[in-house]
Amino acid sequence: MIALDPIPKPIDTLPLRGAPDAVALEERAGTLTYAELETRVGGIAHRLAGRGLAAGDRVATWLPKTRAACLLPLAVPRAGLVHVPINPVLKRAQVAHILADSGARVLVTQAARIAALEPGDVPDGCAIVIEEELASSDTLPPCQADPEALAAILYTSGSTGRPKGVMLSHANLWFGAISVAQYLEIVSKDRVLGVLPLSFDYGQNQLLSTWAAGGQVTPLDYLTARDVVKAVERHDVTTLAGVPPLWVQLLEAEWPSETAARLKRLTNSGGALTPRLVRGLRALFPNADLYPMYGLTEAFRSTYLAPALVDAHPESIGRAIPFAEIVVVRPDGTRAAAGEPGELVHAGPLVAHGYWQDAERTAQRFRPAPEFATSGGMAVWSGDTVIQDGEGLLRFVGRDDEMIKSAGNRISPTEIEDAVLSGGEVAEAAAFGVPDARLGQAIVVVARGDGAQEDALRARLRRELPSFMQPARYDWRGALPRNANGKLDRTALRADLRDDDKGADA
């Protein structure tokens, strides 16, 4: 198990901790040792640095889990630039927004993806680079960046509006990698299967935390649960991270007993594990430790529950991860007592640097740490209500915002509503998340109309939105309730949906 390293360094130096001849990455193009990974990272950085970009310019990437996609999180910061990974499942409208909002000067992608874009999607001044063009025989050495310098912007949906960019420094990424590698007890002989998107902080950290411990990462773009089973078997995987919907699929798949027995570590975030899922995972993977975790992109991750406590405290999100300080705060700003609900506030060096070019939303979420906190500076006020018991274990109570969490994705209701209304098929609409056994939450849209345009609406949204943002159901109404201010009464609509679901269950 690696030791905690309290002194942050430039994030591109992280793989230098691995043995030079050990395998760091295994993917379709073959394997890279740590020495080869260092050379490839330096080559990509040299190629980017030769484009005449200014320090701090943004380089966006829109790629599946190719070799370049795995190396760019290190190579872009090494060149003094800021990495902006874009989820490969996003469609052109979302890609265009992120490129414009970030002010990206370069988009690294593939020829087939360029064909999916339309004129105007890539802003003027943003060059398109095909990933194969990044190879270079010359290399840049590890950078000497200030650990507090910006290294990445990860886009995440907000409770209102379009995705917002969370600004992460070298230190944020470094501390996150060291923390996770330490509490998961990753060692150099571990082989981690990377099934999560690299644009997702949870997915990108799989690369960084594994490399911090000198282990091996095998990235996988999968279509079915069977693909994951075969990859675990083929690559002798020891560690698998997922979100609840993936665990549901994997429990329904056929696992050879000897393959399931190879896994020694399962980690979960992006939604709570139900007792049924915990029991199923315990039975299917008898040799695996289970790590439930809670996090938010604004501070990467906040808590984890040690495997030894899962059976006795299945409802708990655990305690603070290394380097994080987690406090529970009353509405008046004082510390909540044990057993008393309060807001989860995350302080310490994992706290991001705010939202990119969004001072208003930054001021709402990033505020000074409470006076009683040990850590000074800015903290993330999560908006989530938790309760801490007498043993220091935290239990999640609920979210104060209206984010929809479906299949491990945080989805803005406003973004769904904007898409529904943009085609003119519907005049008024409101989107909600409702409980769903497979997805965690399914998206339901309440709309004014008779439903005659539903087929056309669904067909258009399939073209414009990724699969995880597609509404599962439309609830058509002759009129939608309004509050005293003339706005749609979302509280009344949500209550109606709950009543409808109860009636369906009866």
Distance from C-alpha of 404 to C-alpha of 433, rounded to nearest angstrom: 5
The DSSP result for 457-503, as a single string, is HHHHHHHHS-GGGS-SEEEEES---B-TTSSB-HHHHHHHHHHHHHH
- Asked if pLDDT for residue 483 goes beyond 80, the answer is no
Q: CA 254 to CA 252: how far, in whole Å?
A: 7
Domains of the chain listed by start with CATH number: 18-145 (3.40.50.980), 187-287 (3.40.50.980), 404-505 (3.30.300.30)
Q: Region 120-131: what's the mean pLDDT?
A: 97
Which residues pair with residue 96 across a beta bridge? none
CB 145 within 8 A of CB 80: yes
Instruction: Specify the pLDDT at position 5.
Output: 82
pTM for this model (two decimals): 0.86
- The pLDDT assigned to 397 comes to 84
pLDDT in tens, 67-81: 999 999 999 999 999
Instruction: Determine the average pLDDT of the residues in 168-187.
Output: 97
Q: Taking 50 as the threshold, does the pLDDT of residue 158 lie above it?
A: no
pLDDT at residue 506 in the model: 40
Q: What confidence tens digit (pLDDT) does each residue in 234-269 have? A: 999 999 999 887 898 899 999 999 999 999 999 998
At 271 the pLDDT is 75
pLDDT digits (tens, 9 = 90+) for 332-369: 999 999 999 999 999 999 999 999 999 999 999 999 99
Residue 421: per-residue pLDDT: 87
For residues 222 and 228, is the Cβ–Cβ distance under 8 A?
yes
The whole-angstrom separation of Cα 293 and Cα 200 is 15
Residue bearing tokens 């439903």: 451
The Cα 153–Cα 59 span in angstroms is: 10
Evaluate if residue 116 carries a pLDDT over 50: yes
Tens of pLDDT, residue by residue over 221-232, are 999 999 999 999
**Across the chain, what does the average pLDDT equal?**
93
pLDDT of residue 379: 98
In sequence order, which ranges of 104-162 are alpha helices (DSSP H)?
Answer: 111-114
Report pLDDT digits (tens) over 418-447. Answer: 899 888 898 788 999 999 989 999 999 999
Which pLDDT value is given to residue 203? Answer: 93
Tokens 């390293």 appear where? 5
Kindly state the DSSP code that residue 2 receives in the 8-state scheme: P
Residue 17's SS3 state is helix
What is the arithmetic mean of pLDDT over 479-492?
74
Angle between helices 225-235 and 244-252 (to 10 degrees): 80
Q: Is residue 398 pLDDT above 80, yes or no?
A: no
